[in-house]
Amino acid sequence: MQGEINRQTKACGEKPEENPPPSVVLSHRDYTVGWVCALPKEQTAATAMLDQIHPDLPKPPEDDNVYTLGVVNRHKVVIACLPKGTYGNNVAARVATAMVRTFPSIKFGLMVGIGGGNPDNDVRLGDVVVSTPTGEYPGVVQWDFGEVEEGGGFKRIGALNNPPSALRAALGKLETSQEMYGTRIPEYLNNLAQKWPRLASKYIKSDSHVDPLLIPLKDKKFESVNENLWLAILSVFRGAVVSMFYWLLGWNLIATPKESAIGKEVYGDHIQAREMRVHYGLIASGNSVIKSAEHRNMLNKQFGGKLLCVEVGAGGLMNDFPCLVIRGICDYADSSKNDIWQEHAAAVAAAFGKELLSMVPVLEVDAMPTLGKIENQLEEVSKSVKCIRSTQLDREDQKILNWLTPIDYSLQHNDICRNKQPGSGQWLLNSAEYQNWLTTEK
């Protein structure tokens, strides 16, 4: 009887009972994977992928993050989301930095969420793009970080770190597994729908998810979805009128492929509906959202035609929070951008993150250095570089002094400093002229 009640309760769409807390009390040091999201809907998708949900742990007062703790494929995971209404590389960096301080055993990170795809490289809505080093570029490039050159040109400077080697190795294994057996993303999405039925209407693909690339259209200059729909209707109506006219005259109408290509879209003549795919390659990150196909295409050209995805936030993580960036494609970064695909794109990205963690052995993760230790090592290297640079500057200064005069005046200078009267020259430093010069913006 009780079992029947439970089945009826789940059938009514109520929230399933959460996994009971682990019998052993866990601490901050037990969690080894950091999972960062930019939007609440991305956090929802990530939470729905947890095999277990753990109770919250206390955090220091200086940490403003809110965490969700749990297990994904035996890995203990910390999920954090950017504050609602904020976005960008700097905000993402602050969230990740606070996470690493509060959970000192984190070994690597995942930034999982949504992004805009590049259809010129066959990236479609509902696909997944994973940051992977491509040629001269790391997995993620920051497209808006650089300097303006004379004449108005923009020179991109700096480079972001590659994803951790352990994750790249797991990616290779996962790619082979997907080629041989297929991806488990549909399985994970099905589990999401069964465990969290209230999410299914938005996070599972349905008839409401229409890809603008597949809308009938022959004129490529229009990007608006509404324009595409009206042009498609007019095109079909025109074809019907022409067919009726031919039929009345007794002519046989043999449509050429070009004239009957229902399903063509603004980007090409040979696009057809297909299953979701996973793409590995270059992601461009910035501090602003791109809603222009022209801008997207310009970036793709600048990166040698290798750009797969554009997004906001990941560039702030790569140097201080070694991570892999996973993006579900929700739009094409053009004027047809809308929110319809966002939840589903967040779900497929989270499902890929879960599948990836199934390829990373827990024991190998335990043996990895923590991000905090890596950060300390980087700080030591930075200090050493600064020291070497300072020594080089001192030597350069000495060369200039030797060039000015071969006579060493240091002994005379030191003798004058020892014998000077207290307050000597203070009148100059206290003068109005000097103070005015000192405080005036140069």
One digit per residue, the tens of pLDDT, for the chain of length 442 reads 444 434 333 333 444 445 545 566 799 999 999 999 999 999 999 999 999 999 999 999 999 999 999 999 999 999 999 988 877 667 888 898 899 999 999 999 999 999 999 999 999 999 999 998 887 788 888 877 655 555 555 556 555 566 778 888 899 999 999 999 999 999 999 999 999 999 999 999 988 888 888 765 443 444 444 544 555 565 556 656 655 654 555 544 333 333 322 233 344 444 566 789 999 999 988 878 888 889 999 999 988 899 999 988 776 666 667 789 999 999 999 888 888 999 999 999 999 999 999 999 998 888 888 876 545 444 443 444 445 555 566 677 777 777 777 777 777 777 787 788 877 877 887 787 877 777 665 5
**Strand-pair partners of 57:** none
Tokens of 436: 């005015």
Look at residues 232, 250, 272 and tell me which one is the last residue of a structural domain: 272
Is the domain of 65 the same as that of 149? yes
Look at residues 343, 368, 393 and tell me which one is the last residue of a structural domain: 368
Is the domain of 170 the same as that of 223? no
CA distance 364 to 346: 28
Residue 254 has a pLDDT of: 36
Q: Can you tell me which residue has the tokens 């479609």?
A: 124
Residue 270 has a pLDDT of: 46
Is the domain of 364 the same as that of 388? no
Residue 405 has a pLDDT of: 75
CATH number (domain holding residue 157): 3.40.50.1580
**Global pTM exceeds 0.85:** no
Residue 277 has a pLDDT of: 93
Residue 374 covered by a domain:
no
Q: What is the DSSP string of 99-145?
A: HHHHSTT--EEEEEEEEEE-GGGT--TT-EEEE--BTTB-SEEETT-
CA distance 327 to 91: 18
CA distance 369 to 373: 6
Report DSSP state, residue 199: G
Is the domain of 352 the same as that of 416? no
Domain coverage including residue 395: 379-439
Look at residues 249, 272, 295 and tell me which one is the last residue of a structural domain: 272
Is the domain of 139 the same as that of 267? no
Residue 302 has a pLDDT of: 86
Count of the separate structural domains present in the chain: 3
Residue 275 has a pLDDT of: 85
Is the domain of 352 the same as that of 410? no
Residue 164 has a pLDDT of: 75
Helix (H) or strand (E) holding 40: helix 40-48
Is the domain of 128 the same as that of 26? yes
Report DSSP state, residue 57: -
